[in-house]
Amino acid sequence: MELLNAFILLSNFVLVPAIAYGSQLALGALGVTLIYGILRFSNFAHGDTMAFGAMVTILFTWWFQSMGISIDPLPTALLALPFGILFCIGFVLATDRIVYRFYRRQKAAPVIFLIASMGVMFVTNGVVRFIIGPNDQKFADGERFIIKARTFKQMTGLEEGLSFKVSQGITVVTAILVVIALFWFLNRTRTGKSMRAYSDNEDLALLSGINPDKVVMVAWIIAATLATIAGTLYGLDKSFKPFTYLQLLLPIFAAAIVGGLGSPLGAIAGGFVIAFSEIMVTYAYKKFIAYLVPESWEPDTLVQLLSTDYKFAVSFMILLLVLLFRPTGIFAGKSV
C-alpha cells in the first residue's frame, strides 16, 4: 500500500506533468528541427512564432466566447486553434517571403539566417506585445479536470490523489495525433519524401527535380502549424504570457539538439528527456521517500536536488553534456 501511494505521488507530481510538458517541448522542437533540416539554420524566432499563433488562437477564443459558442467540456481554444494556425502560417510565409528568401537566393551563411531570425523574433515579439499586451492572459474554459485528486482518493481509497487536468489530456492526445500525422506525411507522401530527400542532400534532391521553393514553403507551413499547436497547448496548460515563450526557446533548442538537429524522432525524444530531467531534478522527494522507508529514517530536508528557480539550468546542463560527449545528438542529426 505504501509503495502504491509512493507511486501515485510520483505520478501526480512528476510523471503526468512531465509527459504534458514533454509533449509541448517535443512539438516545439519538431518545428525547430524541421526548419533546421530544410533551411539549415536555428530559428530563434520560433518561440515568438509560438506566441503569435497562440495569441491569434486566444483572440478567436475570446470572440467565440463572447458569441457563446463553446464545445463544453472541451476548451473553446480547440475550436479557435485552426484559425490560429491559418493566421500563423500566413505570418510565417510572409516573413519567409520578405526576409529569408532574399538570403536563400544569395546562398548566405547560416549565421546570417540566424541573425535575420533574431530580427524576426524582435518584430514578432513587438507585434504580439502590441496587440495583446505583455501581461498574463486567461483563455482556458470548459471542464478543468479529467480526474480530480479527491475523486481519485475516494475511488481507490489511497492516501495520495492523482489529478489529471483536461489541458494535460488534450496536450498528450493532440501531440500523439500530430506526430502520427507528421510521420505519415514525411514517410508516405510524395511531398514528405521530397522534403526528407532535400534535407539529406540538397544538391542531389535538386538534380532529381525537386522544387526547392515548394519544399521550403511546406516546411514553413508545418513549422507554423506545430508552433501554434505547441504554443496554444502550453498556454492552456500553464498560462499565456508573451515573455515566457522567449524563455521556452532554451529548452526547445536543448530538446532539438539532444535528439540531434534535423531528426524529427530525435526532437520528440529530446523533448521528453528535457521535460523529465527538468521536473525530476527540481522535485522535492521528501514525501516520496517517507512512504518507502521506515518512519525513523524519514528525511528532514526537502530532498530536492535543485531549486525550481533553476529549472532551465537543467536543460542547459543537458545541452552542455550533449555538446561535450555527443555533439550530433542521440539520433545523430546533421552537422554543418
Partner 1 sequence: MIVTLLGLACFALLVVSLAPRLVGLAPLPDRIRNVSLFAIMALLIIIVGMIQSWNVALALLNLCLISSIMALGVNIQWGYAGLLNVGIMGFAALGGVAAVLISADPVADAWAAGALGIFVSFILAVVTVMAAIYAYRNMAPSMARGLTLFAIIVIGLIVIRYFYGPARDAIEDVNPASEGYLGGLGLPIILAWPVGGVFAGLAAWLIGKTALGLRSDYLAIATLGIAEIIVAIIKHEDWLTRGVKNVSGLPRPVPYEIDLQQSQWFVDLATRLGQDPALSSSVFVKLCYAILFTVVLLIVLWLSERALNSPWGRMMRAIRDNEVSANAMGKDVVARHLQVFVLGSIVVGIAGAMLTTLDGQLTPGAYQPLRFTFLIWVMVILGGSGNNWGAVLGGFVVWFFWIQAEPIGTWLMQTITSGMAEDNALRIHLLNSTAHMRLMTMGLILLLVLRFSPRGLIPEK
Q: How far is the CB of 21 from partner 1 (least distance, A)?
A: 17
CA distance 68 to 76: 10
Out of 7, 70, 79, 129, which residue is the one contacting partner 1 (CB under 8 A)? 129
| Partners of 284 in beta bridges | 304
Which residues ranging from 160 to 219 are in contact with partner 1 (CB under 8 A)? none
With contacts defined by CB under 8 A, name the span among 3-11, 15-23, 125-133, 229-237 that binds partner 1.
Answer: 125-133
Write out the three cell numbers for 156. 481507490
Per DSSP, the three-state class of 31 is: helix
Going residue by residue from 269 to 308, which x/- string records binding to partner 1, judged by CB under 8 A? Answer: --------------------------------x-xxxxx-
In eight-state DSSP terms, residue 295 is G
Which residue, 116 or 166, is less far from partner 1 as judged by CB? 116
Q: Is 133 in the site for partner 1 (CB under 8 A)?
A: yes
Nearer to partner 1, 124 or 174 (CB): 124
Residue number with CB closer to partner 1 (41 or 288): 41
Burial of 324 (0-12, 13-18, 19+ CB in 10 A): exposed
**Of 86 and 115, CB closest to partner 1:** 115
**Helix spans in the chain (H):** 2-10, 16-39, 46-67, 77-95, 101-106, 110-132, 149-156, 166-188, 190-200, 202-207, 212-237, 242-259, 264-282, 286-292, 311-325
The answer to whether residue 324 forms part of the interface with partner 1 (CB under 8 A) is yes
CB of 328 to partner 1, least distance (A): 9
> Which residue, 150 or 326, is less far from partner 1 as judged by CB?
326
Binding residues with partner 1: total (CB under 8 A):
54
CA distance linking residue 95 with residue 336, whole number of Å? 24
For the bound state, the minimum distance from the C-beta of residue 98 to partner 1, rounded and expressed in Å, comes to 8
- Told to check if 313 binds partner 1 by CB under 8 A, we report yes
Distance CA 185, CA 181 (A): 6
Question: In sequence order, what are the residues at sequence separation of 6 or more whose Cβ sits closer than 8 angstroms to the Cβ of residue 231?
Answer: 49, 50, 51, 52, 53, 54, 57, 245
Residues in 102-121 at the binding interface with partner 1, rule: CB under 8 A: 102, 109-112, 114-116, 118-121
Q: Which residue lies nearer to partner 1 by CB, 148 or 311?
A: 311
What would the grid cell of residue 295 be?
518512519
Tell me how far apart the alpha carbons of residues 162 and 180 are, in angstroms, rounded to a whole number. Answer: 28
Q: How far is the CB of 13 from partner 1 (least distance, A)?
A: 19
Contact between 246 and partner 1 by CB under 8 A: the answer reads yes
Name the minimum Å distance from CB 71 to partner 1: 29
Angle made by CA atoms 20, 41, 44, in degrees to the nearest 5: 55
Q: For residues 127 and 147, which CB has a smaller minimum distance to partner 1 in the complex?
A: 127
Side-chain half-sphere CA neighbours of 211 within 13 A: 6
75 contacts 138 by C-beta, under 8 angstroms:
no
Q: Does 335 bind partner 1 (CB under 8 A)?
A: yes
Residue 44 in the binding site for partner 1 (CB under 8 A): yes
Which of 149, 206, 250, 265 forms a contact with partner 1 (CB under 8 A)?
A: 250
**Sign (positive or negative) of CA dihedral 115, 198, 24, 241:** positive
Which residues would be at the binding site for partner 1 (CB under 8 A)?
A: 36, 41-42, 44, 99, 102, 109-112, 114-116, 118-127, 129-130, 133-134, 246-247, 249-250, 253-254, 257, 261, 301, 303-307, 309-310, 312-313, 315-316, 319-320, 323-324, 327, 335-336
